[in-house]
Structure 1
Amino acid sequence: MSKVSITDTVAALPGPWQQRELALVNDTVVRVAQLHGEFPWHHHDEDELFLCWDGTFRIELDDRDPVTLRPGEIFVVPKGVRHRPVAEEPAHALLVERPETKQFGN
Structure 2
Amino acid sequence: MTETTTPPTSILAAIAGLPGPFQQHELARVNDAVVRVAQLHGEFPWHHHDEDELFLCWDGALRIELAGQPPVRLGPGDIYVIPRGVRHRPVADEPAHVLLIERPETKQYGN
If the TM-score is normalised by the length of the shorter chain, which range does it land in? Answer: over 0.9
Could you say what the CA RMSD is over the residues aligned between the two structures, in angstroms?
Answer: 0.3
Aligned runs of 1:19-98 on 2, under 5 Å? Answer: 19-98=24-103
- The percent identity for this pair of structures is 73
Distance 2:16 2:74 in 1: 20
Q: Distance in 1 between matches of 2:63 and 2:37?
A: 16
Letter of the 1:34 partner, please give it. Q
TM-score w.r.t. length of structure 2: 0.95
Runs of 4+ in 1 over 4 A off after TM superposition: none
Unaligned runs of 5+ residues in structure 2 are 1-5
Unpaired runs of 5+ residues, structure 1, are: none
Q: 1: CA distance between counterparts of 2:7 and 2:41?
A: 30
What residue identity is the alignment partner of 1:61?
A: L
Q: TM-score, normalised by structure 1?
A: 0.99
Q: 2-side partners of 1:7 and 1:55: how far apart?
A: 14
Q: CA deviation at 1:2?
A: 1.7
* Bigger radius of gyration among the two: 2
